[in-house]
Amino acid sequence: MFKKVKPWLSAFRLRTLPLSVSGIIIGSCFAYYNGKFDGMIMTFAVLLTISLQVLSNLANDYGDGVRGTDNEDRIGPERAIQSGAISPDEMFHGIKMNILVVIVLTVGLIFVSFGSKNFLYALLFFLLSGLSVYAAINYTIGSSPYGYRGLGDVFVFIFFGLLSVIGSYFLFTKHVDHHVILPAISLGLLSVGVLNLNNMRDINSDITAGKKTLAVKLGAVKAKQYHMFLIISAMLVSFIFSILYYSSVYNFLFYIAYMPLIIHLNKIRKANSPDEFDPQLKVLALTAFMFSVLLGIGYIL
């Protein structure tokens, strides 16, 4: 039993978890700023988001593993099914168990946020959770997974940016405020940047496997230009936000994250081969997390 712990932890891809909760941090901080924060809501929101991210990671491992997309040509960490550490049947069972955890956490989050009131809101968030499960699974699983059709970027922008920030804020406040929209867009762009960087790294193996990510469709040169656009746009949108919604000098704290982003852009600009992108994945994901923390803290100090 314990021999399986390390492969499962590897399959969970723990390094992806900070980015997944970044939107919850922003939404929670703005709720605190407006006097609507609730620790139980944030706890359940973080746990649910982590569970959904793990589900996505397991489903991605399963989908790419059984299709043969994860093979010896792939750059980056070896996946669980690819290495043989976890069988496809075991992974599929893990996915089913993870879905049960998501359902339990969804019910818990809805209860602590809405109680017995606001039935329509509760129903809406239950449906959104169901859509999140669908998005997590169908990225690489199914007869026509959207990750193989270049649609992953759209789903990441919606779920990691808009839904994560605006949705979590709504759980606290029961309404949507315009001041959370630009931060949601910025985080969404950074999150898409992480996905695009991953796809640029895997571009050659994905072409061989027939996985038509947006990076594959654009080609190596345009995919790099697209990446530059995503990161620069995220910085520009967040800068505009800090000017439009200025309340104190602390609001500019997240500018600190611009420095590693600029360094990241320079490294990507100079990169000449897919294997040079892999080290930057962790850098960009953690910088996006830092960006979110500093942005949120800047409005509660």
Write the pLDDT tens digit of every residue in 7-17: 888 889 888 99
Handedness of CA 275, 228, 57, 202 (dihedral sign): negative
* 227 token code pair: 């990446």
Side-chain-facing half-sphere of 202: CA atoms under 13 Å: 25
Q: d(Cα 175, Cα 43) in Å, to the nearest integer?
A: 20
- Token look-up 């988001």 returns 49
Q: Which residues contact 127 (CB under 8 A, 6 or more apart)?
A: none
pLDDT by residue (tens digit) across 178-230?
999 999 999 999 999 999 999 999 998 889 888 899 999 999 999 999 999 99
Q: What is the pTM of this model?
A: 0.94
User: What are the distances in angstroms from CA 179 to CA 151, 166, 231, 257?
Assistant: 28, 10, 21, 20
Answer whether 59's CB lies under 8 Å from 34's CB: no
User: What are the distances in angstroms from CA 162 to CA 42, 78, 83?
Assistant: 17, 31, 35
Answer whether 13's CB lies under 8 Å from 57's CB: yes
- Token look-up 């499960």 returns 133
pLDDT by residue (tens digit) across 224-274?
999 999 999 999 999 999 999 999 999 999 999 999 999 999 999 999 888
